[in-house]
Amino acid sequence: MKKTIIIGPCVMESQSILDEVGSFVSEIALKYLEFDFVFKSSFDKANRTSYNSFRGPGLEKGMLWMSDLKLKYDLKVTSDIHEGYQASPAGEVLDIIQIPAFLCRQTDILKAACETGKHVNVKKGQFLSGKDMKNVAQKLENYGATSFGMIERGNVFGYNNLVVDFTNILEMKKFSNQVIMDCTHSVQKPGGLGEKSGGNREYVSYMANAAKAFDVDGYFFEIHPDPDNALSDGPNMVKLENVEEIIKSLL
């Protein structure tokens, strides 16, 4: 079975950024047929550190942009929802519904995601072990999820830091259809820059290859043409020119 690569800019900064990265991903997808590529970007970052932080274009405009991109580049697409009412309209466009780590135990959101009939990816909370996610899996099964995946993204380790226990991948594979390694959020420094999160993109390829050793089913990369000036998660996003090198290392 092909490994999955979920990839795209953290937030939908503009339709032009979405189009630029979408074009890049479509070219990479045609070049590396060994992987199943899924384009990801958020229409709303509802959990930003600061009130002043950019959140995104919102549900209606975001789904319009995603629909256009999906048709233009023939890509599968995913995004995260933060409230139950967003699931149905998002499910009309998205191939995969993603649940953020902070909301992974919110029963009503999980239920709404399952009701779309789409594959549901749930990020493991920074406060949970891989074994703990079995309870989330049981909720998804009880609400009729046709298929679902779990995403490892590290655990809180003191203040402004995360640590990854790669055995979580093996634990979640016991009860999940698919386990993805979030290689960029796992190198994040939550709130590490005061009013926004820091991170270290130099570690991203190491996270990916460590997860490969644990037989992970796929990889999650946030990428951007100019991450140092990105409006969200810049420090841990990978520059477009470095993406192919990482993908090659995973073959």
The CATH number covering residue 131 comes to 3.20.20.70
Give residue 228's pLDDT band: very low, low, confident or very high (50, 70, 90): very high
The predicted structure's pLDDT at residue 12: 97
Per cent of the chain over pLDDT 90 is 86
Mean pLDDT of 82-97: 98
| Range ranked top by mean pLDDT from 41-50, 114-123, 223-232, 233-242 | 114-123
Average pLDDT, the chain: 94
Domain range spanning residue 124? 3-249
What is the number of structural domains in the chain?
1
Q: What is the pLDDT of residues 187-227, one digit of tens each?
A: 987 764 555 455 688 999 999 999 999 999 999 999 999 99
If you write DSSP's letter for every residue of the chain in order, what string do you get?
-PEEEEEE-SB---HHHHHHHHHHHHHHHHH-TTEEEEEE-BS--TT-SSTTS---S-HHHHHHHHHHHHHHHT-EEEEE-SSGGGHHHHHTT-SEEEE-GGGTT-HHHHHHHHTTTSEEEEEPPTT--TTTHHHHHHHHHHTT-SSEEEEE--EE-SSS-EE--THHHHHHHTT-SEEEEETTGGGEETTTTSSS-EE-GGGHHHHHHHHHHTT-SEEEEEEESSGGG-SSSGGGSEEHHHHHHHHHHT-
Q: pTM of the prediction?
A: 0.94
Give residue 159's pLDDT band: very low, low, confident or very high (50, 70, 90): confident
